[in-house]
A and B are shown apart, each in its own frame.
Chain A
Amino acid sequence: MSSNASATVVRTGAGSRFVIYTLLILFCLYYLLPLYVMVVNSLKPLSEIQAGGMMALPDEWTLAPWASAWSTAQIGVEATGLRPFFVNSIVMVVPAVAISTVLGALNGYVLTKWRFRGDTIIFGLLLFGCFIPFQMVLIPMARMLGIVGLAGTVPGLIFVHLVYGIGFSTLYFRNYYQQFPTELVRAAMIDGAGFFTIFRRIMLPSSGPIAVVCVIWQFTNIWNDFLFGASFSDFDSQPMTVALNNLVQSSTGVKEYNVHFAGAIMAALPTLLVYIVAGRYFVRGLMAGSVKG
């Protein structure tokens, strides 16, 4: 959403403005409700939830559910808490995001400034790869990871996210570099600057905004992934989303709703933080991923 575009010129009377504001506020409550439920119930003892007090503020405030979710809760068969899986997700996300962004930048640069016959087809192939149902690659990928010894490991997951993340990162940089004046690149070529020099000196310095968009998009997508995590990790390498699901779905003992909510917030916190800090870029990424350009 560009800030220079202005709101509508349609005029509304005082009565309808009251209705509009009421509706907008009601929808704010609707969107905030689940977050409220998660936060409030992660801070109260289980008994208060069981007594039908899910919407109420805690009578007794406690951080015990958070401590439990982080370090002692039962995940699958072991009482490890979510901490090791939070670490797994971090270890998985950082290299996958970094590498896919760098490759995306280089690809975008080639596809816009060093064009060759068939480059649009190649871009189309990369792009379609973003949208395939990943069910279509699960079986061979599981086989291949097994053969090369990466099945059930974090590096295996990094690899998978890298492969299926390249399409989007290429899309972002390509669309961005397309707006970049080709004359500048031409002039540098005539001055004898090489491929990488032009990239480093001319393209990179102005790539800040799109790099942020791309990093945020990849980070959110990879952090939030469940399908690949569930398919290609084993107990020790499962990412946060898979561990959270195991925590919530475990059928042994009493269901500790407050611990589940605390765990859910932990899984949500990194992406939520990114959204709050850099929401503008997050939205740009979303839009570029759908309304291309």
Chain B
Amino acid sequence: MSQGAQGRRGGNDWLREALPKIVLSPSLAMVLIFVYGFIIFTFYLSFTDSRILPSYELVGWENYSKLFRIRAWDTAVSNLVIFGGLYIVICCALGLALAILLDQKIRAEGFIRTIYLYPMALSFIVTGTAWKWFLDPGIGLQAVVRSWGWESFTFDWIKDGDMAIYTIVIAAVWQTSGFVMAMFLAGLRGIDNEVLKAAQIDGASNVALYRRIVIPQLRPAFMSAFVVLAHMAIKSYDLIIALTGGGPGTATELPATFMYSYTFTRNQMGIGAASATIMLMAIAAIMVPYIYSELREKK
């Protein structure tokens, strides 16, 4: 290297050192502003008297105390508990069952897997539209069964305030259970077959093999499935909009739809921000420990 180049070397070294950070910085800046900055902004708004527009007048915990007195929020939270609980439990049970069945050296396994998983590629709006009309008593399942001759057959959950939330569960399980199946199947494929063979020689029944040996080893898959499903349940928005629009009345309102309607149609931005903050807290309670443990293990 010539003398002239030597002079620039200091600069080059600095650049060499800093270049990776420079490359990373636009992404980091975007995330810091548009994720964390915006979170702080919304959090701040939840303590202000913002209505149609953001206001910076602080009102303490008023929005939160108002929020907990609103009946629709109550409905939204208890709906989330019902929906989330059933959604997680049914998806896991169905996913595990299908994975175990598919793991029995099935012919055309790949083909069947493809069929179980394709709903995951669809938009919740598409899923919602399909199920909305299929469950509609006027033209869907109920009308079809009646036209087949069973005149008194009734299936009108989607129009029934007490039952409509379960139609959300039906459609959501349809969409996601194949994915949960894939997660469990991957877990099953990771299990050491030698242990199973040994237990078989000892005369253990198939049921015992699965209960004692296989399923306990699927703990990581259960963990992942739980985290993914819980986080999807809390964020559920599109499906409700497409399937029931939150109705009948407010019967299928969830926190996500509540936040949207209070903020953008009812012009109660402070209360909307408070509800969004509570959603974030719920998600953080699930995701932060999960991400933390994942990143620690990787070190």
Contact = CB atoms under 8 A, between A and B. Distances in A.
A249 B174 CA distance: 22
Contacts of A180: none
Contacts of B125: 224, 226, 241, 244-245, 264, 267
Given A52-B139, A54-B139, A166-B27, A114 B101 contact: no
Given A226-B124, A291-B220, A124 B295 contact: yes
Interface in B76-117: 98, 101-106, 109, 112, 114-117
Contact of A291 (B16, B102, B186, B188): B186
B121 A275 contact: yes
A71 to B, nearest CB: 19
A138 interface: yes
B219 interface: no
Interface in A162-176: 162-164, 166-167, 170
B63 interface: no
A65 to B, nearest CB: 13
Contacts, number: 301
B165 interface: no
A175 to B, nearest CB: 9
A195 B16 contact: yes
A140 B41 contact: yes
A37 B140 CA distance: 10
Nearest to B19: A195
Nearest to A25: B112
Interface SS of chain A: helix
B68 interface: no
B200 A170 contact: no
A1 interface: yes
B228 A290 contact: yes
B156 interface: no
B59 interface: no
A292 B294 contact: yes
Contacts of B197: 9
A106 interface: yes
A104 B245 CA distance: 36
Give chain B's interface residue range (CB within 8 Å of chain A). 35 or more
A48 to B, nearest CB: 10
Interface of B: 16, 19-21, 23-24, 26-28, 30-32, 34-39, 41-42, 45, 54, 98, 101-106, 109, 112, 114-127, 129-134, 139-141, 143-144, 146-147, 174, 178-179, 182-183, 185-186, 188-191, 193, 196-197, 200, 206, 209-210, 214, 220-221, 224-225, 227-228, 231, 234-235, 237-238, 241-242, 245, 255-256, 259-260, 263-264, 269, 272-273, 275-277, 279-280, 283-284, 287-288, 291-292, 294-295, 298-299
Given A116-B20, A135-B275, 19 more contacts: A5-B190, A7-B189, A9-B196, A32-B115, A34-B119, A107-B23, A107-B27, A110-B24, A120-B295, A124-B291, A137-B38, A162-B30, A195-B16, A224-B125, A227-B238, A257-B139, A264-B126, A271-B123, A286-B179
Interface of A: 1-2, 5-12, 17, 20-21, 23-24, 27-28, 30-35, 37-38, 41, 49-55, 103, 106-107, 110-111, 114, 116, 120, 122-129, 131-141, 143, 162-164, 166-167, 170, 178, 194-195, 220, 223-224, 226-227, 230-231, 241, 244-245, 248-249, 257, 260-261, 263-265, 267-268, 271-272, 274-276, 279, 282-283, 286-287, 290-293
